[in-house]
Amino acid sequence: MFLTSTGTLRPLAIELTRPLNNGKPQWKHVYTPSRDATDAWLWKLAKAHVLAHDSGYHQLVSHWLRTHGATEPYIIATNRHLSKIHPIQRLLCPHLRYTMQINSLARLALINASSTINTSFSPKKYSMQLSSDAYARDWRFDHEALPADLVSR
């Protein structure tokens, strides 16, 4: 990425790599912006490829895992340990009311092996495994609160 004088980031190159899979050869190719017609279209296709994978990552990790999945322990703990008349329970209730039901439906319809997200994006049958691995590797309770959250950003 290159920071322009106007303060925007501009991509300089995109490297696409195909991993080894079922005996198919692995390859790597770097695409760069070009004025030549063929290379210009290859650059646009490489950008589309990156955007497709980024949207899959966003849906699976950023939205599902770091938003919906990460709130479940808090909802369970709140419901188990705070009475219905506790001020914090009453404050959180409108925000957490349907989250567990939404998450349950998401597991059934959106992120399982034959779901909408997996047939539209790339993870396919591995999305639950990717979610579990990312959660186990990246999520720590002590890093989700201030000031550690701000430092990590």
First to last CA, the chain: 19
Ramachandran sector of residue 7 (left: φ over 0; alpha: ψ -120 to 50; beta: rest): left
Domain boundaries, the chain: 2-152
Question: What amino acid is encoded at 77 in this protein?
Answer: A
pLDDT per residue as tens digits for the range 75-113? 999 999 999 999 999 999 998 989 999 988 888 877 776
- This prediction has a pTM of 0.62
The CATH number of the domain covering residues in 2-152: 1.20.245.10
Q: What whole-number percentage of the chain has pLDDT above 90?
A: 28
* 55: DSSP letter: H
3-state secondary structure 42-69: HHHHHHHHHHHHHHHHHHHHHHHHHHHH
Mean pLDDT of 61-68: 83
